[in-house]
Every structure is written in structure tokens, then in C-alpha cells.
Amino acid sequence: MCGITGFLSPAIHNPDELRARVRQMTETLAHRGPDDRGSWVDAASGVALGHRRLSILDLSELGRQPMLSASGRFVVILNGEVYNHGALRRELQGLGHTFRGHSDTEVLLAAVVEWGLQRAVKRFVGMFAFALWDRDGRELALVRDAIGIKPLYYGWMQGCFLFGSELKALRAHPAFHGEIDRGALSSYLHHCYVPGPNSIYRGIFKLPPGSILVVRPGTGPGQAEPVAWWSMAERVEEGLRHPFSGTDEEAVDELDARLRDSVALQMLADVPVGAFLSGGIDSSTVVALMQAQSTRPVRTFSIGFEERGYDEAGYARAVAEHLGTDHTECYVTPAEAREVIPRLPQLYDEPFADSSQIPTFLVSRIARRGVTVSLSGDGGDELFFGYDRYRHLERLWQRVAWCPLGPRRAVAPLVRWAAAAVPPGVRGKARLAMIADLLAAGSPSQVYTRFNSHWRDASAIVAGGCEPRAVRPPRGVLAAGASICEQMAFVDAVTYLPDDILVKVDRASMALGLEARVPLLDQRVVEFAWRLPLGLKVRRGWTKWLLRQVLERYVPRQMVERPKMGFGVPIDSWLRGPLRDWAESLLSRRRLESEGYFQPAPIRRKWSEHLSGRTDWQYHLWDVLMFQAWLDGEQDRTGRRATDR
């Protein structure tokens, strides 16, 4: 796990200038790679590559980056891991390749030499984002893993192509200027994160999961587009058309075997390895499979909270005791949790308002004291339909779908008017608003977009903003007969998973130099999960049915049968109490008006209603607060506010 950055600037050919600039960019990523640093330049082409290293595999000098291929043609900087590098190494050795060290980076280079970039990357199993410079072809390729586990930003600024693991690396280049994209800001308020491929800055993008972008000296904006080497839509369509046809027991065996293999590969490292453990289905499954394949107790980590309704430590402790792990449990005070908040804008680099970012950082901090790599259970809800909202929204849609859209949309404004007439906090107001939205929806995906959002009319909040487009399953997925639940899960798989869940885990862990691995998101597991019929995921009211069957082979059912808990903190009460002054300063009418990004009236109204206790607007307010705090950080970093220059 590392941090990568660099640029392609055809106007600069002075090697000292190239090195100085890329080192400046690289130093912003020191937290991602505290063990080593490196840079490489091709002055003739204006290319500079920078790397910060968190040593995981081959801790010797032979694992340093940037790394050149044996012939010297290719140079690579890699963030992440190619887990199946051992099998690939043996195959490449049979084809005549020799290796100096035992890092996965060296295997990646040999694979590219042997098979070419496109064919090679399709054979990689792992989480990665890397940049590859072809010295002969004078091409720079950016590559991101299939699921989008590792981040990679890019864009053109003043004729210079910039890229990096985090936005802070791009900001360190003198060509960078930060123009806030108000369309992205609207989308952020809708989702609580900025959906890819956009970033909060106009002209800077996230490389889509499973894609390759190739640029050359002289390539400008709009002249190169990412090309998919792996497509979630294609895998979903293929899985729906060719579903798993075995028995229940065969399905359990197959999932067990695939997860065992994924976990085994991700336990390989030359540094201490552990796991996050919440006591829920996903993390318990990962830890159970780790312990089943380990000759000594696995290191596990969990945190507890004093507030009722937020504490999962007891569940984690019970699972750890049953499996015999070496368990570390730490209770966090409210004050300790709140102390993280000032760090969030710097950690996440762009507005990000999933408040579970706070406990994720805290458990990462505990784990980093004992290990350098920690496995996580993220991805289980999206793959095996663990969210109750899927079934809830499916039932809601079925209640109105019998009626033609025209009559429904004719009635919706009347219901919305009735909802507006109900005073805030009065029971039934929210229900009327929900019914109005449901009647106006034209498809299940529209229902999901409207109900699974925060500020539903974001364009009315952002000055000069626009309403973001709803993400809909492509025609191929719909033609394959996707159910409503499957359509919603697909939308999450291409938006919420890479842009929220994985961002949250990556930034929180890497801020501390901790590598977080996600074995449930091995692309082979993902592909198998989409072949599973709906009845193997949801059965008799139980979500994640098949994953539960695997876990029951290792942990008694009653130990993990409990209501689903969000990994959160009580933001609602904090905003009325210890965070009130901080929030008031960020939400003051004068400030909102002077900055010019938000319409103050609806925000002030929600703030007043929240403080009165009549309504809980914590999610809406947290969205605005995280943007405002980020904007403050932007001024601190650059000496000026990011504006629409």
C-alpha cells in the first residue's frame, strides 16, 4: 500500500525542475507511505513519477519504487497489492522471466512485458491503482482495479496532466487551480459524497473502477477517455443470464471455497496482519476464515462506545472468544470521537459526509498500534443484499406500480402541497412527503434515488447548482431480467460502494499508514455473487442468507443473530450539545451568504428545527457542515478560498 503521484508536462525538460515538483507532490502523501520515498523522471518527455512506500511485501531495496522492468522499457508506481502475484510469478518463470526480489510490483512489470497491459491487468487479482510509463511508446497509462478499492485522480491544468492517489498531491503542483464544480456539489448534497467520475474540482476526475486511461505528450482535455478492462454491468448481466444452478449446499460450498481463497491470499504479507471485527455477519465471516487457516491466533480489533445503541464491542468480543483470536477492544469516549472531526477535511480531501468515517478512523488507529495490514468485512451488504432498504423500497414500489404514471403524477403535487401545510415535527408530515415522491417516480431506480438521498432537491440548495442525474441500471442489466432488489444493488455497486464505503475505509486507514484489505470484494467473489439467484441472498426474511450459511460453519447462529447496527456516532445529539457552537459558526447566515455556495434559508430552517428537537436533520446538516469545514481547510492549505475563478 502506497501513495502515487506524478505529471506529464511537455513544456518542462529540466530534470531538476521535474524532480523538485514531483517530490513536492509526493511529500503530501507521506501518510500513505511512511517507510520510503522515490521519484523518477524522463526529462525528454516531461514525465515525473513519485512514490511513497508502505512496505508490505519485500521490505528490502528490491521492492522500492518507482520500479523499472528488466529491459528498462517500463517504469511503474503502484498503490495496492496484486494478491495472486505468486501464481503469476511461477507462470512467468516458466516462460523465461527471472526475478531479483519477491515483490508483486516486479511481477506486474513482467506480466505487462509478457502479455501487454490489457491482457495482463485482466489476470491480476487485487486492489490497485498504478501508473505505467512506456519509454519506447511514450505513453502514460493509469490503471484502477475492478471494484474501485484504491483511488486515483487525474486532470489537465494549464497544459499539464496531473494524477495522484489523493487530491492533495495534485494541489501541490503549481499548475493546479481549484475551481469548485457546483454540479458536483449538488451531487454531494444528494449522496453525502461526490460521485465519480467527477471530483469537487472542475476538470479533475476520478478514474472509474476497472478502467485504463492512456495519455501521451501533447494529449489534452477531451482527447483521451478511460477504457474499461472490467465492467460491473457486464458481470451483472452475465450473472443474471447464467445463474448458479446447484443445490443450496453446493452454493454454500462454492462461496466458502472462494472466500477461503480470497482470505488466504490477502493474509500474505511480510508485516503483521490482523482484522477489524464488529461482530456482524461480514467481519465475523472474514475473521472466521482467517482463523481457520492460521496456525496462531489472529489479531482482531474493535472499538466500543459509551452511548447506548452505538456499541457493538460486546458482539465482537463474543465472536473473538469463540474463534480464539487475539482480541483488542478499546472503548472510546465521546470527547475522543469528537476530537477526530477537525481532521476530517484533511483526511478526505474533498467533501465527504458519511459520519461513520469517525469510528472507522478510530478503529484503524487502534489496529495500527498492533499491525500494518488489517482485513475488513466491507462489501457484504452490497453483494449479498444486506440492506433492509432494498426490500422496503420494493414493497413501496409494488404499492403504486399498478397505477399508470400519468394519474400518479397528477396527484403527487396535491399530496406534496398537503405535506407542506403540516407544521414541522408533526407526525405524518414526512409520510405525506414520501407518498408524494413515490407517486411521482417513474421507475424503481427513481424510487431508490429519491429515497436513498439526503437533500432531495439539491439544486434548490446550491446557488447555481443543478439536480444530479439518477443512476439507472443499463439496458443490458434490465434485459437480463434484474429484479427490483437487484437493480438497487447494482446502483449501489457502481456508486455507493466505490465512492462512499471504499473511500471511507481507504482514507481513514491510510491516514495512519495502515493497509486495509477487503476480501469480500475479490472480483472473483463479486462475479460469483452476481450469479446467485435472489432466493440465495434473501430468504424467509433473512438478508445475506448464503453468507450466513457459510458463517454458521464456524460461528453459532445465535452469536451473530441481532438487529443490524450502523457503524455510527450520535451526531444528532452532538449538534444540539458539544458541537453546537462549531456548527453555528459554519452555518451562520452571514457566512453562507458571503461564500455564495448555498441558499441560506433552507439550511437555517433545518438548523433551527434540529436544535428545537422537533425534527432530526443530522444527515442534511452534516453534509453542509463537512463542506463548510472542507472549505475552511481549502483556505488554510492554499491561503485563499477555493472559488469559481
Check which CATH number belongs to the domain holding 374 and give it.
3.40.50.620
Cα dist from 193 to 180, 196, 328, 543, 606, whole Å: 14, 9, 31, 26, 20
Burial class (CB in 10 A: 0-12, 13-18, 19+), 353: buried
Average pLDDT over the chain, rounded to an integer: 92
Q: How confident is the model at residue 645 (pLDDT cuts 50, 70, 90)?
A: very low
Residues 474 and 461 in one domain: yes
- 77 occurs within a structural domain: yes
The whole-number pLDDT of residue 1 equals 64
**CATH code for position 64:** 3.60.20.10
User: Does a structural domain hold residue 89?
Assistant: yes
The verdict on residue 251 lying in a domain is yes
**Percentage of the chain with pLDDT > 90?**
77
Beta bridge partners of 339: none
606 closest CA partner among 429, 436, 418, 425: 425
Please tell me the distance from the alpha carbon of residue 414 to that of residue 401, in angstroms, as a whole number: 19
* CA geometry: angle 494, 495, 499, nearest 5 deg: 120
Same domain, 124 and 113: yes
Are residues 478 and 614 both part of a single domain? no
Does residue 330 carry a catalytic annotation?
Answer: no
- Residue 497 near residue 379 (C-beta atoms within 8 A): yes
User: Cβ(211)–Cβ(192) under 8 Å?
Assistant: no
User: Which span out of 239-253, 331-345, 554-568 was modeled with the highest average pLDDT?
Assistant: 239-253
Residue 643 belongs to a domain: no
What residue has cell string 437533500?
A: 455
Q: Residue 297: inside a domain, yes or no?
A: yes
Q: Confidence class of residue 51 from pLDDT cuts 50, 70 and 90?
A: very high
The catalytically annotated residue of 2, 160, 192, 485 is 2
Answer for the pair 136, 486: CB distance below 8 angstroms, yes or no: no
pLDDT digits (tens, 9 = 90+) for 277-332: 999 999 999 999 999 999 999 999 999 887 766 778 889 999 999 999 999 999 98
Which domain-ending residue is among 468, 492, 516? Answer: 492
Q: pLDDT tens-digit profile of 106-135? A: 999 999 999 999 999 999 999 999 999 999
The reported pLDDT for the residue numbered 637 is 60
Together in a domain, 80 and 134:
yes
Beta bridge partners of 542: 539
Residue indicated by cell numbers 447506548: 308
Same domain, 381 and 520: yes
Considering only CA atoms, which of 169, 185, 202 is closest in space to residue 5? 169
Whether 221 has a pLDDT exceeding 80, the answer reads yes
pLDDT band at 17 (very low <50, low <70, confident <90, very high): very high
- Domain identity same for 507 and 439: no
Looking at the DSSP bridge assignments, the partners of residue 126 are: 82
- Rounded Cα distance between 522 and 266, Å, is 10
**107 and 149, same structural domain?**
yes
The three grid cell numbers given for residue 479, joined into one nine-digit string: 434485459
In terms of domains, do 269 and 392 share one?
A: no
Same domain, 198 and 119: yes
**645 found inside a domain:** no
Residue with cell 501487454: 116
Q: Are 156 and 177 in contact (CB under 8 A)?
A: no
Q: pLDDT (tens digit, 9 = 90+) per residue, 352-386? A: 999 999 999 999 999 999 999 999 999 999 999 99
Is the whole model's pTM more than 0.85, yes or no?
Answer: yes
Residues 187 and 290 in one domain: no
Strands 126-134 and 139-144: antiparallel
Predicted confidence (pLDDT) at residue 636 exceeds the cutoff of 90: no
Mean pLDDT score, 592-604: 95
Burial status of residue 524 (CB atoms within 10 A of its CB: 0-12, 13-18, 19 or more): middle
Considering the chain, what percentage of its residues have pLDDT values greater than 70? 97
Q: Does residue 640 carry a pLDDT above 70?
A: no
**Domain shared by 325 and 463, yes or no:** no
Q: Considering 449, 473, 492, which residue would you say is the last residue of a domain? A: 492
Do the domain assignments include residue 90?
A: yes
**566 assigned to some structural domain:** no
Domain identity same for 144 and 277: no
**DSSP H stretches of helix in 155-280:** 167-171, 182-191, 232-241, 248-266
For residue 282, the enclosing domain spans 239-386+500-560
Phi and psi (nearest 5°) for 329? -125, 135
- Give the total number of structural domains in the chain: 4
**Domain closes at, from 230, 260, 288:** 230
How long is the chain? 645
- Residue 638 — very low, low, confident or very high, per pLDDT cuts 50/70/90? low
Look at residue 644 and tell me whether its pLDDT is greater than 60. no
Please check the confidence at residue 46 and state whether its pLDDT lies above 80: yes
Q: Please give the average per-residue pLDDT across 418-437, as a whole number.
A: 80
Among candidates 285, 328, 297, which has minimal Cα distance to 521? 285
Give SS3 for 16. Answer: helix
**For helices 429-440 and 405-421, what crossing angle results, to 10°?**
160
